[in-house]
C-alpha cells in the first residue's frame, strides 16, 4: 500500500549523499551545519518519543516555539509519527493560547522554557498530558526525552485525506479558525511549485534557499521549507530576519522568499547591488500585496524581477506569476492560477462577472483545505453549493488571465449604500507626490453607516498635509470614495507577515464621526 505521508515524499527527495549539509544556521553564535542524515535521525528520535506516548493517530501536537532547526525537526517528526502539527505564533499571549488549546485539544504542547510557567498551567488545566520545552539553543525537555529514543523510525502510514497540519487563521474578525490541511493538500501544492518555479536538480547546479521567514505560517513552513526539502536543496537558516545579514549571504544562495516588508528593508541596504545578486535565480514575494514601487525599485537595483504569488492558510498557494520568461512577471498582479487550481470571480449573488470586473475570488483544487476544525457551520458558510471555497479576497481577471487582488471583502467599505474598494482609493493616494503608502478603512458614521478615511505614510523627507490630500482626491474619483479625513503617520501597523492591520486602524478611529 502506498504511504501518502508527506514526510515520506519529502524524505524520498533527500539527496543520496546524506552527509551533505541540509541546513546551515546563519545567526547562531557559531554556524551550525545539519546534514540530511541529521534531519533523518533527529526526526526519527522525536517521532519515536511521540510513538512511546501511545497517542491515538491524528493527535494534535501544538508548538509555540522560537524558530530553530530543532523546531523544523519537530514539525517533520509530527508528520512522520502520523499526528497533526499545530504551529502557534510566538506572539500569542495567555488568552489566545488558552483558546487554541481548548479548541484543538492537543495531546502534546511544546513551548519555550521562558513561557513554561504560564503555558504549562494552561495546558494541564485543559487536560493536556504532555508538555515539553524546546529552546532555540538546542535545549529543553523535548530533546532530552528524545535523546533516549532510537534514531530509526518507520513513518506512519497516512491516507491522502488524513490531516497533517491545523493552521489557525489570524482572526482579525471574530475567533481564529483552525484550517485543516491534509497530507495531499500540502504534497500536491509542493510538487506543483517545484515544477513551476524551476527548482534545479543537483545536476543542473542545485539551489540554495535563504530561509528568513517565521515557521508558524504557510509561507515559511510550507512554501519555503517544502520547496527546499523536496528539491534536496540546502537552506541558509535565519532565525530572525536581518536585512544586512541576508544581503551579505545572497552570493551563496539562489532562491529567496519574503513578505513585501522584507524586500523594502533590503532595499534600504546599500550593499544590495546587481553584483551581490548575480548568483541568485529567484526572488518570491507573497502574503501581502507588493507595492509596484518596490517591484520596480527591486528590478532597477538588482536586475531581478520579483515573482509575486498569492495564497492563504486554507488553500496554500493559488496563483503565481510565470517563472519563465521573467519578462512575463507583472507587478501589481499575482499571476495565473497554478496548474490544478481553478479560480473564478463571482458577484455578491454568486453570478460570474465579466473579465476585468471585480468580484469575490472562489477556488477549487487538491490544495483546498478540508474545513475549519470543529466548525462545520463556518465551513459550510465558506463554501458555495457547488463546493468552491470563498477566499474572502476581492479581485479580477484581466484579459490574458492574470489575477489582481483588490482587497479583502471584509475590508469593503459601504458608505451611504455605495461600495468602496479601499485598494482603488489607496492606489490613487499612492500616486500623489510624497506618498510612500496608504491604508483606507471605513469607520462608523452617523449619516453614512461608514465613512471612508485614509492613513498615509510620507516618503522620507516629504511633508504631507491631510487636508491637501483630500482636496487632491476630489474630482479624481466619485465623492463618496474620497476620504473624509486623512491622517499622516510615520508607519502603518503591520503583523509579522507584513500585513497591514486594518482592524487596528478601524479601532483607533472608531469614534471619529461619533457625536461627542
Instruction: State the residues that interact with ligand AMP by CB under 6 A.
Output: 169-170, 218, 286-289, 308, 310-313, 334, 391, 393, 405, 408, 497
Give the largest Cα separation in the chain, rounded: 72
Question: Which cell goes with 503?
Answer: 482592524
Question: Which cell goes with 427?
Answer: 492606489
* Omega prior to 325 cis, within 30 of 0: yes
Which secondary-structure segment (H or E) carries 96?
Answer: helix 94-104
Question: Which cell goes with 257?
Answer: 522568499
| 261 vs 313, beta carbon nearer ligand AMP | 313
Q: How far is CA 74 from CA 25, 46, 146, in A?
A: 17, 7, 11
| 37 vs 390, beta carbon nearer ligand AMP | 390
Q: From the CB of 481, what's the least distance to ligand AMP, in Å?
A: 21
Q: From the CB of 370, what's the least distance to ligand AMP, in Å?
A: 15
| 163 vs 181, beta carbon nearer ligand AMP | 181
| Contact predicate 60/109, CB 8 Å | no
| Contact predicate 391/405, CB 8 Å | no
| 35 vs 169, beta carbon nearer ligand AMP | 169
| 208 vs 361, beta carbon nearer ligand AMP | 361
Q: From the CB of 351, what's the least distance to ligand AMP, in Å?
A: 22
| 27 vs 96, beta carbon nearer ligand AMP | 96
Q: From the CB of 311, what's the least distance to ligand AMP, in Å?
A: 6
Q: From the CB of 329, what's the least distance to ligand AMP, in Å?
A: 12
CA-CA distance, 461 to 405, in Å (whole number)?
Answer: 30
Question: Which cell goes with 35?
Answer: 546534514
Q: How far is CA 243 from CA 263, 271, 299, 340, in A?
A: 9, 10, 17, 35
Instruction: Return the ∠ at Cα 477 (arms to 402 and 290), rounded to 5°.
Output: 35
| 140 vs 286, beta carbon nearer ligand AMP | 286
| 141 vs 172, beta carbon nearer ligand AMP | 172
| 231 vs 287, beta carbon nearer ligand AMP | 287
Q: From the CB of 17, what's the least distance to ligand AMP, in Å?
A: 35
Q: From the CB of 263, what's the least distance to ligand AMP, in Å?
A: 12
| 43 vs 313, beta carbon nearer ligand AMP | 313
Q: From the CB of 306, what's the least distance to ligand AMP, in Å?
A: 10
Q: What is the DSSP string of 323-361?
A: SSSGGG--TT--BEEPTT-EEEEE-TTS-B--TTS-EEE
Residue 376, exposed/middle/buried by CB under 10 A (0-12, 13-18, 19+)? exposed
Instruction: Return the ∠ at Cα 280 (arms to 275 and 281), rounded to 5°.
Output: 140
Residue 221, exposed/middle/buried by CB under 10 A (0-12, 13-18, 19+)? buried
Number of H helices, E strands in the chain: 16, 25
CA-CA distance, 251 to 253, in Å (whole number)?
Answer: 6
E strand intervals along 198-306: 208-211, 234-237, 255-258, 282-285
Question: Which cell goes with 210?
Answer: 535563504
Q: From the CB of 218, what's the least distance to ligand AMP, in Å?
A: 5
CB burial string 141-162: b at 16+ within 10 A, e below: ebbebbeebeeebebbebeeeb
CA-CA distance, 514 to 501, in Å (whole number)?
Answer: 22
| 163 vs 405, beta carbon nearer ligand AMP | 405
| 40 vs 426, beta carbon nearer ligand AMP | 426
| 134 vs 284, beta carbon nearer ligand AMP | 284
Q: Is the dihedral of CA 125, 104, 43, 28 positive or negative?
A: negative
Q: From the CB of 339, what's the least distance to ligand AMP, in Å?
A: 18
Q: From the CB of 74, what's the least distance to ligand AMP, in Å?
A: 21
Q: Please count the other Cβ atoms lying within 10 Å of the Cβ belonging to residue 447.
A: 8
Q: From the CB of 313, what's the least distance to ligand AMP, in Å?
A: 3
Q: From the CB of 132, what's the least distance to ligand AMP, in Å?
A: 27
| Contact predicate 415/452, CB 8 Å | yes
Amino acid at each position: 500500500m502506498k504511504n501518502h505521508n508527506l514526510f515520506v515524499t519529502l524524505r524520498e527527495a533527500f539527496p543520496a549523499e546524506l552527509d551533505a549539509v541540509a541546513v546551515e544556521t546563519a545567526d547562531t553564535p557559531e554556524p551550525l551545519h545539519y546534514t540530511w542524515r541529521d534531519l533523518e535521525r533527529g526526526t526519527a528520535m522525536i517521532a519515536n518519543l511521540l510513538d512511546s506516548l501511545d497517542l491515538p493517530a491524528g493527535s494534535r501536537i501544538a508548538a509555540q516555539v522560537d524558530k530553530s532547526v530543532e523546531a523544523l525537526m519537530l514539525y517533520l517528526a509530527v508528520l512522520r509519527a502520523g499526528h497533526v502539527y499545530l504551529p502557534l505564533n510566538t506572539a500569542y499571549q495567555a488568552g489566545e493560547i488558552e483558546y487554541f488549546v481548548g479548541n484543538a485539544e492537543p495531546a502534546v504542547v511544546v513551548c519555550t522554557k521562558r513561557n513554561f510557567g504560564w503555558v504549562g498551567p494552561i495546558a494541564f488545566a485543559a487536560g493536556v498530558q504532555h508538555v515539553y520545552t524546546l529552546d532555540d539553543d538546542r535545549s529543553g525537555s523535548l530533546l532530552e526525552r528524545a535523546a533516549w529514543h532510537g534514531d530509526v523510525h518507520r513513518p506512519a502510514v497516512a491516507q491522502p485525506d488524513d490531516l497533517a497540519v491545523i493552521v489557525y487563521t489570524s482572526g482579525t474578525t471574530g475567533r481564529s479558525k483552525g484550517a485543516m490541511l491534509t497530507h495531499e493538500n500540502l504534497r500536491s501544492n509542493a510538487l506543483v511549485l517545484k515544477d513551476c518555479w524551476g527548482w534545479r536538480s543537483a545536476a543542473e547546479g542545485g539551489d540554495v534557499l535563504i530561509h528568513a521567514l517565521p515557521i508558524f505560517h504557510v509561507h515559511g513552513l510550507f512554501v519555503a521549507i517544502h520547496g527546499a526539502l523536496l528539491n534536496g536543496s540546502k537552506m541558509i537558516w535565519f532565525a530572525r530576519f536581518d536585512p544586512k545579514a541576508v544581503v551579505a549571504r545572497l552570493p551563496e544562495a539562489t532562491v529567496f522568499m519574503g513578505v513585501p516588508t522584507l524586500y523594502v528593508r533590503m532595499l534600504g541596504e546599500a550593499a544590495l547591488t546587481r553584483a551581490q545578486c548575480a548568483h541568485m535565480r529567484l526572488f518570491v514575494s507573497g502574503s501581502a500585496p507588493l507595492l509596484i514601487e518596490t517591484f520596480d525599485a527591486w528590478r532597477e537595483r538588482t536586475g531581478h524581477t520579483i515573482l509575486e504569488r498569492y495564497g492563504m492558510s486554507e488553500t496554500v498557494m493559488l496563483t503565481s506569476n510565470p517563472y519563465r520568461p521573467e519578462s512575463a512577471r507583472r507587478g501589481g498582479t499575482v499571476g495565473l492560477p497554478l496548474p490544478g487550481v481553478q479560480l473564478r470571480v463571482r458577484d455578491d449573488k454568486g453570478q460570474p462577472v465579466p473579465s476585468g470586473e471585480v468580484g469575490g475570488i472562489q477556488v477549487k483544487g487538491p490544495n483546498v483545505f478540508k474545513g475549519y476544525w470543529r466548525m462545520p457551520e463556518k465551513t459550510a458558510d465558506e463554501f458555495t453549493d457547488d463546493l468552491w471555497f470563498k477566499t474572502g479576497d476581492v479581485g479580477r481577471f484581466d484579459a490574458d488571465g492574470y489575477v489582481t487582488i483588490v482587497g479583502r471583502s471584509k475590508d469593503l467599505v459601504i458608505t451611504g449604500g455605495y461600495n468602496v474598494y479601499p485598494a482603488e482609493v489607496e492606489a490613487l493616494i499612492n500616486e500623489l507626490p510624497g506618498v510612500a503608502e496608504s491604508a483606507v478603512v471605513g469607520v462608523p458614521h452617523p449619516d453614512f453607516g461608514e465613512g471612508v478615511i485614509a492613513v498615509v505614510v510620507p516618503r522620507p523627507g516629504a511633508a504631507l498635509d491631510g487636508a491637501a490630500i483630500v482636496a487632491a482626491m476630489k474630482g479624481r474619483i466619485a465623492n463618496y470614495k474620497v476620504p473624509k479625513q486623512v491622517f499622516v503617520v510615520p508607519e502603518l501597523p503591520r503583523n509579522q507577515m507584513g500585513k497591514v492591520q486594518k482592524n487596528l486602524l478601524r479601532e483607533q478611529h472608531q469614534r471619529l464621526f461619533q457625536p461627542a
